[in-house]
């Protein structure tokens, strides 16, 4: 009998309608389209309108993933995981609200915060849940609303980050089925936590006597310092995942890396020895959407008919924490809703 595995059964995505081009950003920031395209590969991003929160995007993407999986009745889904760095509020978590609005009943619901690696961490959590028999199907959503966390005067972050949500339904199946998640590799390095984050609102920050500073609410990032860590950690984690599953680099049909910067993806491809035709890029359209980045890239590539059933995919991500993670899976040929 084949070993149990989480199997991809549905996929959905959503980006808010408002598109923000590089030229639009250049109107109030000291930047320009040429710099942004050359240094990042980003041409536009989507930003949510005022009043829109992460749960709103998560519900849209979740609904599409459920439809794609043919799972809509309460009881079909045993757990909802929302991977996000930008939850609706500190407490309560965002996922119970998302589950309720999707009509999923009194399902288990948790938020997962692992920065831009959040989707891979959530994939691992969902896989473990399914294999332990605690649920038959899990809805995993990566969702972010970065716009309110971007310092409008910081060109280092404002040109990079975008809003969106991507979701997958995973069901309990077996390792030989197309869509099986074959392995996950995860890691972290908290000694480099100062490189990227949102300091305000945590217990560390609130427990000091220092009066709050307006910048505390904003995302900061030391992009230059973090760049080589991103390349090295995604390459190491990818190699570990490939070794776990017994694939050579040449066995991989598609590398779906965290969409932070085109130059990072190119450097990663070079380190791994993968030609760039096999690297999925979506950041030109959406920027860095953190935990939503990988499922959004999967949905975009699937919509373009890029993946064939049984294709071998390597997913890899890196983010605040620092955290990183990679997963190897085969493609099931899901129908997008």
**222 belongs to the catalytic site:** no
Do the Cβ atoms of 302 and 166 come closer than 8 Å? no
Q: Does residue number 85 form part of the binding site for ligand COA (CB under 6 A)?
A: no
CA 190 – CA 203 distance, rounded (Å): 17
Q: Does residue number 261 form part of the binding site for ligand COA (CB under 6 A)?
A: yes
Q: Which pair of structure tokens corresponds to residue 24?
A: 């639009």
Closer of 68 and 117 to ligand COA (Cβ)? 117
Do the Cβ atoms of 311 and 325 come closer than 8 Å? no
Least CB distance to ligand COA at residue 36 (A)? 6
Least CB distance to ligand COA at residue 195 (A)? 8
CB neighbours of residue 226 within 10 Å: 20
Q: What does the per-residue mask of binding to ligand COA show for 105-124, with x meaning CB under 6 A?
A: -----------x--------
Phi, psi (rounded to 5 degrees) for 268: -60, -45
Residue in 323, 289, 286, 265 with CA at minimum distance from that of residue 115: 323
Distance of CA 254 to the CA centre of its chain: 17
Residues 18-37 that bind ligand COA (CB under 6 A): 31, 35-36
Q: Does residue number 219 form part of the binding site for ligand COA (CB under 6 A)?
A: no
**288 belongs to the catalytic site:** yes
The single residue among 16, 62, 319, 332 that binds ligand COA, judged by CB under 6 A, is 319
The single residue among 37, 100, 150, 156 that binds ligand COA, judged by CB under 6 A, is 156
Helix-helix angle 118-131:293-303, to 10 degrees: 80
Residue in 37, 319, 296, 17 with CA at minimum distance from that of residue 159: 37
Which one of the listed residues 46, 63, 258, 282 is annotated catalytic? 258
* End-to-end CA separation in angstroms for the chain: 33
Q: Does residue number 227 form part of the binding site for ligand COA (CB under 6 A)?
A: yes
The single residue among 4, 39, 199, 336 that binds ligand COA, judged by CB under 6 A, is 39
Catalytic residue annotation:
116, 258, 288
Summarize as ranges the residues that interact with ligand COA (CB under 6 A): 31, 35-36, 39-40, 116, 155-156, 159-160, 196, 221, 223-224, 226-227, 230, 260-261, 264, 288, 318-319
């Amino acid at each position: 009998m084949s070993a149990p595995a989480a199997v991809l059964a549905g996929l959905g995505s959503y980006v808010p309608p408002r598109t923000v081009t590089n030229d639009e950003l250049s109107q109030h920031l000291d930047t320009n389209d040429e710099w942004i395209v050359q240094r990042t590969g980003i041409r536009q991003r989507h930003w949510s309108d005022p009043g829109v929160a992460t749960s709103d995007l998560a519900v849209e993407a979740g609904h599409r993933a459920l439809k794609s999986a043919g799972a809509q009745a309460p009881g079909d889904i045993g757990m909802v995981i929302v991977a996000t760095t930008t939850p609706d509020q500190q407490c309560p978590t965002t996922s119970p609200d998302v589950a309720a609005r999707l009509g999923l009943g009194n399902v288990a619901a948790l938020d997962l915060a692992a920065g831009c690696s959040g989707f891979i961490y959530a994939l691992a959590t969902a896989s473990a849940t399914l294999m332990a028999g605690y649920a038959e199907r899990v809805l995993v959503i990566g969702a972010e609303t970065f716009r309110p966390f971007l310092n409008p005067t910081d060109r280092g972050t404002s040109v990079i980050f975008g809003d969106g949500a991507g979701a997958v339904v995973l069901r309990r199946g077996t390792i030989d089925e197309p869509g099986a998640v074959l392995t996950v590799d995860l890691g972290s390095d908290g000694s480099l936590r100062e490189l990227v984050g949102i300091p305000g609102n945590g217990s560390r920050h609130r427990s000091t006597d220092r009066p709050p500073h307006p910048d505390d609410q904003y995302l900061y990032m030391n992009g230059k310092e973090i760049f080589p860590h991103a390349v090295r950690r995604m390459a190491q984690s990818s190699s570990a995942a490939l070794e776990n599953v017994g694939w050579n680099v040449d066995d991989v049909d598609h590398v779906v890396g965290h969409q932070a910067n085109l130059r990072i993806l190119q450097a990663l491809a070079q380190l791994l020895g993968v030609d760039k035709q096999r690297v999925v890029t979506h950041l030109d359209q959406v920027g860095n959407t953190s935990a939503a980045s990988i499922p959004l890239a999967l949905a975009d590539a699937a919509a373009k008919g890029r993946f064939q059933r049984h294709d071998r995919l390597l997913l890899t991500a890196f983010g605040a924490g620092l955290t990183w993670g990679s997963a190897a899976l085969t493609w099931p040929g899901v129908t997008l809703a």
